[in-house]
Structure 1
Amino acid sequence: MGSEKTGGRGGVGRRTVLLGGGAALVGTAVLARDELRRAWWRLPGTERKRVQGELDHKGAVWTAAARANWRRADRPDDYVIDRVVIHVVQGSYATALKVFKNPGHGAAAHYVVGKDGRVAQMIRELDVAFHAGDRSMNERSVGIEHEGFVDRPQDFTPAMYAASAALTAGICARYGIPVDRKHIIGHVEVEGTDHTDPGPHWDWDRYLPLVRAARAKLS
C-alpha cells in the first residue's frame, strides 16, 4: 500500500520556484496547460457516464474504498494505463478492505485478492488509486493488493495466483499492456518506494505464465 506523493508532475515544488522566476513561470504555465488538457472531460456534458458499483472485472465484488483514498479521473483518456502493480497487504483480506474504507488511511488499491481466490474491486480502473506511493505510477497503473504476508510463502495459494492472473490478464487486454516484467511489477520496484512487497516468496516464474495463459484465452 502507498499514498500519493505531491512532488510528482502534477505540482510545482518549492525548489522549482527558488531556481528562478522566469523558468518557474514557464514551468507553471506548461503544467497548468497539461492539467487542463487532462481535465477536458470535467467540462459540462463531457464527463463519462458512471454507474454506481459497476465492475471492470467480471467475478469481482464491489466494495467501495473511501473517497479520500483515490482521485477521480477518466483513464485511459487522460492518463495512459501501462502498468500493473502487485502488492501484498501484510494482513488479511478483511484487513485490506477495512483500511481501504478508512478515509484517514490515505491509500487504497483498485483490487484486493484473497487466498481463496475471491476478488474485491474497490476503485474503478478509470480512476487513480493512491497505491504505489508515487504520483506518476499511480496515474499510469492499476494496483492489485493480495492477502497475506511477504515472509509466508504458504499465503500465496494456487487459488490466489489463478484469480490474480485472470484479473491481470483482463487488465492487460483492456489497455494493450504487454505481459512481461517491465509492465507487471511489484510494489518494491516502484521508484522511491520503501515497501518490499510482494517479497521474495511471490513466484514470478509461476505467475507470468498464468497471466499469459489467461490472456491468450481472451484473444
Structure 2
Amino acid sequence: MGDELTEETGHEARAPAEGEADRRPGRRALLVGGAAAALGTVLLAREELSHLWWRLPGVDHAREDGAVDYRGAQWIAASSANLRRADRPDDYRIDRVVVHVTQGSYRSAVNVFQDSSHRAAAHYVVRRDGHVAQMIRELDVAFHAGNRQYNERSVGIEHEGFVEKASSFTDAMYASSARLTAAICARYGMPVDRTHVIGHAEVPGADHTDPGRHWDWDRYMKLVRRARTALA
C-alpha cells in the first residue's frame, strides 16, 4: 500500500511510534465533547431565562415614578442606556456594596450618568455635604463595576471628589454614606464587613483605583456598623 494522506493537511500520515499514544480524538470523544458543549449552552440559556421570569405579565414589581429606595434621597433618573432593567433581588441576589469616587464634582457625575453615550452609572451619588441622590433603582442592574456578575449582585455608591485628595472625604460625606450602606446591608441581610462592602478597585478585572488610599476604611466601617446597630 502507498502512504495515506491526512484529510486536514495533505501531509503523509504515519502510524504512532511504539509506546506513543494516538492523541487524535476519537469519534466517541468528539460526540461526548459536543454533547457537553451543547449541555453547557442549554444550562447557560436556562440560567439566563431564570432571570427573566419576572418579565411575564403580572410578575414585574410595581414601580412609581420618582420613588426612592433610601429615605431622604433625591431622585434624579440616570439614562436607561446606563442600566439594565431587572427585578432584584428576585432575579439576582444582592450581596455587595461597591464604593466609588467620581473623580469630579457631584454635578459632573449626575450629568454623565444622564448621558446615554456614557454607558455607566451608579445607583447613588453622595455629595460632599452628605446629600444623597438616587439615580437608579436598586431593583435594576447599574453599569458601575466593570464586571457583569458584580453589577448584577451589587449596589454602587459614588462619592464626590478625587482619589488623590484626602480633603474630598468630609465628615458629612462619611456619615451620610455610612447610613446609606447600613440601610442597604439591612435591606438585603448582608453582613457589615469588608467582604460585602468593597471598593471599586477590589472588583475582579477592574482597572480603577477608587476609592484610593485616602479613603478611611476603618473609620467608614465603624460608622456603617454603628448605623446598622441603630437600625436594628
Deviation at 1:102, TM superposition (A): 0.3
Aligned residue for 1:78? 91
- Does 1:142 pair with 2:158? no
State how far apart, in whole Å, the 2-side matches of 1:47 and 1:187 are. 30
What is the alpha-carbon root mean square deviation over aligned residues? 0.8
User: 2:155 is paired with a residue of what secondary structure?
Assistant: strand
User: 1:86 is paired with a residue of what secondary structure?
Assistant: strand
- Does 1:114 pair with 2:89? no
Deviation at 1:58, TM superposition (A): 0.6
State how far apart, in whole Å, the 2-side matches of 1:68 and 1:194 are. 22
Aligned residue for 2:35? 22
Aligned residue for 1:213? 226
Aligned residue for 1:154? 167
State how far apart, in whole Å, the 2-side matches of 1:200 and 1:139 are. 27
Letter aligned with residue 60 of structure 1:
A
Alignment equivalent of 2:62, drawn from 30, 43, 49: 49
Q: Kindly tell me the number of residue pairs found equivalent between the two proteins.
A: 200
Aligned residue for 2:100? 87
4+ long deviations beyond 6 Å: none
Aligned residue for 1:69? 82
User: 2:71 is paired with a residue of what secondary structure?
Assistant: coil
Deviation at 1:22, TM superposition (A): 3.1
State how far apart, in whole Å, the 1-side matches of 2:208 and 2:34 are. 37
Instruction: Work out the percentage of aligned pairs sharing the same amino acid.
Output: 68
Alignment equivalent of 1:133, drawn from 143, 146, 159: 146
Higher relative contact order (CA 8 A, sep 6+): 1
Letter aligned with residue 57 of structure 1:
Y
Aligned residue for 1:12? none
Aligned residue for 2:217? 204
The one-character-per-residue Cα deviations of 1:33-68 (angstroms, maximum 9, x if unpaired) are: 111111111011111111011100011000000000
Q: Which runs of 5+ in 1 are unaligned?
A: 1-19
TM-score norm. by structure 2 comes to 0.85
Matched ranges for 1:160-175 at <5 A = 160-175=173-188
State how far apart, in whole Å, the 1-side matches of 2:185 and 2:192 are. 7
State how far apart, in whole Å, the 1-side matches of 2:204 and 2:49 are. 27
Deviation at 1:112, TM superposition (A): 0.1
Aligned residue for 1:189? 202
Letter aligned with residue 75 of structure 1:
R
The one-character-per-residue Cα deviations of 1:115-155 (angstroms, maximum 9, x if unpaired) are: 01000000000100000000000000000000000000001
Deviation at 1:98, TM superposition (A): 0.4
Structure with larger Rg: 2
State how far apart, in whole Å, the 2-side matches of 1:205 and 1:44 are. 46
Alignment equivalent of 2:137, drawn from 115, 119, 124: 124
